[in-house]
Amino acid sequence: MSARTIVFILSYSNNQNAIKRIEEFKKHGVQVEAYGFKRNDISNINADSVSVNEIGAYNNLMSYRKRVPIIYRGIRSVVKKYKNSDVLFYLFGLDVAGLFRMQSSKPYIYEEEDLIYTYFRNSIVRKLFTLLDRYIVNKSARTVFTSEGFAIFHFGSNWSKKVCIIPNKLKNTVMDYPAIPKEIDINHLKIAFVGSFRFKSVYNFAKVFLESFPNFTFHFFGSATDKENEDLFDGLKKYNNCVFHGRFKNPIDLPSVYAQFDLLLSTYDIEFENVKYAEPNKLYEAIYYDTPIIVSSNCFLGDKVEKMGVGYSINALDDAEVVSFIKGLTLDSINERIKTIKEIDKQYAIDGNSEFIENIKAELL
């Protein structure tokens, strides 16, 4: 057992990526403590081996101005508790890291899953938060980005050795549920979106696809992120070739989900910098389940998918391009990408961060 405790502070207690990270450290014999904030009246989701102590609560609809005092006080309670202890903090999110740095100079690891501030409309505010973000990275003992694109956003092609890239891959438990073989009927093509639907590019692709190709089927697995998007996507139910399957259990239901379609749609609205540089875990689901993926062009994910040969990149907001893309699909083209995917070791899609954790144990604990 490592002598030094890692104290995790989560921006929200049921952050499954954070829970996964905590579990990994525990499995490597590291003593951990975890704290986080309850959001949207959702009870903390604790894994069997992880308990997250609640240090505050707020609703997602609450403005950042009102959230900040709550987060500040919660972090202050943790900082005070460990003031005289030799611990290493592990901070998730810029809001947590920024408010932590205002109150403590203790060493920390910083993990960034999203460039949230890139959604702010005010360009001056975005620039200030970008500078703050880079300051947090530079002062950290280690920084974890869940996309190589984030490192490129901040530092171009040359970044510090303290920066580690850990994409949001699949948990090991996915291997308990084997993939189900499937065959493609090119005359009755099936495309699907899996997850929380909200992006205009997803809606537009589906709408054009459903209108233009009545012999093909579009499937939605999951639910909308809010009432506004629920109303928007519900409008697609008027098409006979659109199927909404509702929520599913991850990873238990994933094999049966992926067995029901041929291509995975995972386009995002690249008007935001966060989307341009993000690397969603749907890439790894697609690879694990031998399913070519369709993503947005002119972004980090699009470039990566094209380079790997595991899918297609398009502008899903361009109706003509969507129609041209679908008309141009051939069985040979799809099978070529499936062949490329099958040549990738499935472990590539599974979380495996032993080297990272052992490095932390050796150098920071």
DSSP secondary structure, 230-241, as one string: HHHHHGGGGSTT
**Run of H or E residues at 54:** strand 52-58
Task: Domain 173-348: give its CATH architecture.
Answer: 3-Layer(aba) Sandwich (3.40)
Q: Could you give the 3-state DSSP secondary structure of residue 43?
A: coil
- pLDDT (tens digit, 9 = 90+) per residue, 181-214? 999 999 999 999 999 998 999 999 999 999 999 9
Q: Is the pLDDT of residue 1 over 60?
A: no
Query: To which residue do tokens 């901040």 refer?
Result: 154
CATH of domain 5-169+351-363: 3.40.50.2000
- Read off the pLDDT band of 28 (50, 70, 90): very high
Average pLDDT value for the chain: 94
Q: Would you give the distance in Å from CA 296 to the centre of its chain? A: 16
**Run of H or E residues at 125:** helix 123-139
Across the beta sheet with 311-314, the strand order is 242-246, 217-224, 190-197, 263-265, 293-296, 311-314
Question: CB–CB of 282/195 below 8 Å?
Answer: yes
Which of 145, 151, 140, 94 has the alpha carbon at shortest distance from 120? Answer: 94
Residue-wise burial string across 232-257, b where 16 or more C-beta atoms lie within 10 A, e elsewhere = bbeebeebebbbbbeebebbeebeeb
In the chain, CATH 3.40.50.2000 covers 5-169+351-363, 173-348
Q: Is the pLDDT of residue 44 over 70?
A: no
- Tell me whether the omega of the peptide bond preceding residue 251 falls within 30 degrees of 0, making it cis: yes
Structure tokens at 137: 């990275």
pTM for the whole thing? Answer: 0.91
Specify the higher pLDDT residue, 90 or 178.
Answer: 90
Phi, psi at residue 334, to the nearest 5°? -65, -45
Angle of helix 300-308 relative to helix 148-155, nearest 10 degrees, comes to 130
Question: In whole angstroms, what is the distance from residue 292 CA to residue 341 CA?
Answer: 8
Q: Is the pLDDT of residue 362 over 70?
A: yes
Q: Is the pLDDT of residue 3 over 90?
A: no
Question: In whole angstroms, what is the distance from residue 48 CA to residue 117 CA?
Answer: 33
| Amino acid, res. 135 | Y
